[in-house]
Amino acid sequence: MSMPSEERPLSYPALLSVLKKMNYDKRSEIAVVSPEICKIHKRIGYSLKSLSFIQEHGKVDENGIPEEVGTGEVHVESIKYRFEHNPESNKVEIECSLTPEKKLLVEDISIARRYFHHFLTTSKQPVQQLFLTECDRPFRNMIGLQNTRIKWNLSGAREFPLFQDFPENHIFEKLELSGYGTLLLTEQQVKNCKHLVLRKEDIYSEYVIGNEERTIRNHYCTLNNSILELYLGLNHMESFLLLCERILVDTFQIGSSFTAFFKKTGYLKNYVWNSLFERFDRAVEGVLKQGECVVLRMENDHIIAVFTNYYGNDDMYRESYTVVKVKRNLEYEPELSREY
């Protein structure tokens, strides 16, 4: 009869090796209940997969400077730090999701931003996914920032330069921005970005004819990022046709796409298709792997075509049309209504 094997604790080198391979949040969960692991956890470095900073915009004074906001949240992977500012005592209460029973009171109204800075700068490698919601100058007083990928929901335009805390020649690998003002599109760091994603999907019916097209022409059609993705709520077909003309200029890489959201009608698809045929002499109806479309251009290495509901996000109130530059796959040649 064999004796049950005795469980042996991991050696220090083995334990160290295991902890180094764990995500920061999972390591922290174990550290809360194990003093031994807590000691090791504090000694070894980490590289964060995701970091979020959520903070409402502060009131802007007569000089255009926003006031410091003490309330907010910092998410370190799955760990949540909540900061609640009491304006009467001017103190901030801090709560961590790992130890919700323990709350800390501090007199530093900027403590939420300081936590964000701490995790941003102590991650050995640049944070893989950096998410921001609102926030006023979250990178202020930081030097030598290496982060190249940011997803930022601004929830309204701000007048000061958004990326003033980065060098003018800083190159982002990817920026995804929503809820912005068009003034943002003039900032050099936005123009320099390799992969730019802009989301402004609400449809503003107060646009009068001419204003919308002017905005498209003067702001969006001047962007020259290597990969550009636009998701815009529009009222006028001319605005979308301008975007189609812009993507035909051979500067954008494969993967670039411009999506227009319109209010749903019963005849919009026919109107879009007919508008494309009238505007572009070489436009031809066809079927690609992605579905029915109008092909605007077909080259040896790529195809530019317009699809309806390309991303599958249409609903009962709106429908979308996307002009996209895709790689041409010779194994799946498009079916065209006539010879191209």
pLDDT value of residue 168: 87
CA gap 146, 135 in Å, rounded? 19
CA gap 151, 157 in Å, rounded? 16
Mean pLDDT value across residues 16-21: 82
Which letter does DSSP use for residue 207 in this model? P
The structural domains of the chain, with segments of one domain joined by +, span 230-340
CA gap 138, 42 in Å, rounded? 26
CA gap 262, 275 in Å, rounded? 15
The token duo for 138 is 């979250």
Instruction: Quote the percentage of the chain above a pLDDT of 90.
Output: 64
- Chain segment 159-201, per-residue pLDDT in tens: 668 888 888 889 999 999 999 988 889 999 999 999 999 999 9
CA gap 332, 303 in Å, rounded? 12
pTM of the model: 0.90
16-30, 106-120, 204-218, 254-268: segment of lowest average pLDDT: 204-218
CA gap 46, 26 in Å, rounded? 12
Q: Say whether pLDDT at 210 is over 80.
A: no
- Specify which residues 82 forms β-bridges with: 73, 95
CA gap 321, 314 in Å, rounded? 10
CA-closest candidate to residue 66, choices 56, 74, 75: 56
Whose tokens are 């997803």? That residue is: 151
- Specify which residues 297 forms β-bridges with: 304
- Chain segment 93-113, per-residue pLDDT in tens: 999 999 999 999 999 999 999
Whose tokens are 């400077």? That residue is: 65
CA gap 17, 23 in Å, rounded? 13
